[in-house]
Amino acid sequence: MIDTQASRVRAGMVTGAIALGLAGGAMMVPAAQAAQPAQVPFVTYSPATHTATVRLIAGLTSANSGYNFDGGAKGAVRITVPLGTKVVATFVDNVSMPHSALIIPFNVPLTVTPPAPAFPGAASADYRNGTEKGDPASVFTFRANKAGTYRIVCGVPGHDVAGMWDIFIVSRVARTASFQKL
Ligand SMILES: [Cu+2]
């Protein structure tokens, strides 16, 4: 009788140990899920300061053979800001090909060498030559003080013609900045 009870006790201890082990393993699942990095939005807007942040990443994907901003080319990306917004844009080149970003009026025809920016300061550093992967990000700031439709183009000769352009809208009615990819 005594031996049998002792056996039952020992059996119970083993069962408990297994249960604790399973519980410990299950607790690791939420920790792994929490390790996923948060996705940073391409566009944010602060109503208090009328400021929009815009991320322009050249060659983010292989779309249009890498001649794209944020994965969109030939107008597939559409960024809208309210009239009067202070735009703080960060340009980064994700590929080894030199690229840049500047904003020009929409109705300017495709040219090998783009015109000056539509707004003072609305261009990344050295936009005619561009930067490459590994170069520092180029932060440029401008005031979107004239309503209308514009294009975001790469200023490196030939790239606008190759389709490296998207759409930038300064809106009288929009209450916030937005990012749309068709
Ligand atoms: Cu380019």
Query: What pLDDT was estimated at residue 30?
Result: 45
Alpha carbons within 13 angstroms on the beta-carbon side of residue 58 total: 33
Q: Rounded to an integer, what distance in angstroms lies between the CA atom of residue 40 and that of residue 22? A: 36
For residue 67, how far is its CA from the centre of ligand 1 (angstroms)? 6
Query: What pLDDT was estimated at residue 22?
Result: 42
For residue 76, how far is its CA from the centre of ligand 1 (angstroms)? 16
More confident: 11 or 63:
63
Task: Give whole-number Cα distances, 137 to 18, 43, 105, 140, 177, in Å.
Answer: 53, 16, 24, 10, 22
**SS3 of 19, please?**
helix
CATH superfamily, domain at 43-181: Cupredoxins -  blue copper proteins (2.60.40.420)
**Six-digit token pair at 38?**
């948060």
Is the pLDDT reported for residue 51 higher than 70?
yes
For residue 137, how far is its CA from the centre of ligand 1 (angstroms)? 15
Query: What pLDDT was estimated at residue 41?
Result: 93
Is the pLDDT reported for residue 23 higher than 90?
no
Query: What pLDDT was estimated at residue 13?
Result: 44
For residue 37, how far is its CA from the centre of ligand 1 (angstroms)? 28
Instruction: Using pLDDT thresholds of 50, 70 and 90, give the confidence band for residue 173.
Output: very high
Q: Which of the 8 DSSP states describes residue 38?
A: P
Q: Rounded to an integer, what distance in angstroms lies between the CA atom of residue 89 and that of residue 142? A: 8
Is the pLDDT reported for residue 37 higher than 80?
no
Domain ranges of the chain: 43-181
% residues pLDDT > 90 (the chain) = 73
Q: Rounded to an integer, what distance in angstroms lies between the CA atom of residue 7 and that of residue 3? A: 6
For residue 149, how far is its CA from the centre of ligand 1 (angstroms)? 21
Query: What pLDDT was estimated at residue 115?
Result: 85
The whole-angstrom distance between residue 61's C-alpha and the CA centroid of its chain comes to 11
Could you tell me if 93 and 122 are in contact, meaning their C-beta atoms sit under 8 angstroms apart?
no
Neighbours of 71 (CB within 10 A): 17
Alpha carbons within 13 angstroms on the beta-carbon side of residue 160 total: 25
Q: Rounded to an integer, what distance in angstroms lies between the CA atom of residue 129 and that of residue 110? A: 17
Global pTM exceeds 0.85: no
